[in-house]
Amino acid sequence: MNRVVIVFLLSAGAAFAQNGHDIMLEVQKRHHSMSMRYEGTIQSCTTPKGCPLDSKYLITKRWVYERIGDFGNSKAIVRFTGPAEVKGVALLIVNHPDSASDEWLWRPAVGRDQRIAIQDRSTKFFGTDFTFEDLEERDADQYDFTITGEVNGQWRIDAKPKKASEYTHSYFWIDKTNYSFQRIEAYNKKGLAKTIDYSDFEMVKNIWTAKTVLVLDVARKTRTGLRYDKVDYNVPLKADDFTPDKLRLEP
C-alpha cells in the first residue's frame, strides 16, 4: 500500500530537513531493507455498518508477505495460509519506478492466475479494506510533498501522487523522533476515503516496525485490522520466486 499493507515509500542530515521531500527521503532511508518477510493475521469486518475488532462478525485470515528489491523497484507476494477457503490465494505485485505496477492474482479454485487491470486497482483485495493499489510500494520521488503542520511531535505532510492513482492526495503523519508512519489519511474526489493507523511499534533489525495496523473505509464504515506476528528484514529470498508461475506454490 504503499507497503500491506500496507507499506508507501536517502538523504544525509535529516535532522536539518527543510521540506516534505527531505523528510520522506529520511523515512525511506530508515526503513530501507533489500528484502522482508512478515507473517500475521488479517481481520475484516463483514457487516456494512462496521464492527469492533472483537466482534463475532469478523473474519480472520492468516497470511505471509514477502518482498525483494528497493523502494519503487521491488517485487512482493501476499499469500493466504488459512483458513481453508482462502488458503493458497496469492497476489504478486511488481513495482516499477517509472510506470504502473503489474499485479497478478492466483486463486486455486479458479486454477489460473489473473492479471489485475489498471482500472481495477481501486477494487477491494479479497474481502479486506485494502485496494489493490494500497498494496503497491512507491518511491518517495513518485510524490510531491508539502509540510502542512506539526502536531504532537508529528509532521503532517501532504502527498500528491505523480503516477495515476485512485487518490487525489494523502496526509502522512510522521513521527519527528524516529521518522515512522503514524497515520495516513487518503482522499479521493469525494473527500476522505480511508484512514490507516499504525501502532505497537517494535525495533526489528534497527527498523521501527508497527506490529498493528488498522484500516478504516470511511464511506462503507468497514475496517480491517492487521497483526504482524513474525517480522524479519534482509532475509535470503530469490528474485526467481517472484513470478506468476510461483504463485501456484502451496503455502
- CA–CA distance, 205 with 226 (Å, rounded to integer): 21
Round the CA-based radius of gyration of the chain to a whole number and report it: 17
- CA–CA distance, 83 with 60 (Å, rounded to integer): 8
> Is 14-248 a CATH 2.40.50.220 domain?
no
In this prediction the pTM is: 0.85
DSSP state of 248: G
Q: How many CB atoms lie within 10 A of CB 149?
A: 11
DSSP state of 83: S
Question: Residues near 45 by Cβ (< 8 Å), separated by ≥ 6?
Answer: 51, 55, 57, 58, 222, 223, 224
- CA–CA distance, 151 with 158 (Å, rounded to integer): 14
* Unique residue bearing C-alpha cell 463483514: 46
- CA–CA distance, 93 with 95 (Å, rounded to integer): 6
Is residue 72 left, alpha or beta, with left meaning phi > 0 and alpha meaning psi from -120 to 50? left
Please check whether residue 95 is in contact with residue 138, taking contact to mean a CB–CB distance below 8 angstroms: yes
| Tens of pLDDT, residues 50-93 | 565 556 677 899 999 999 998 888 999 999 999 998 999 999 99
- Extents of the domains making up the chain: 14-248
| Tens of pLDDT, residues 219-245 | 888 889 999 999 999 999 999 999 998
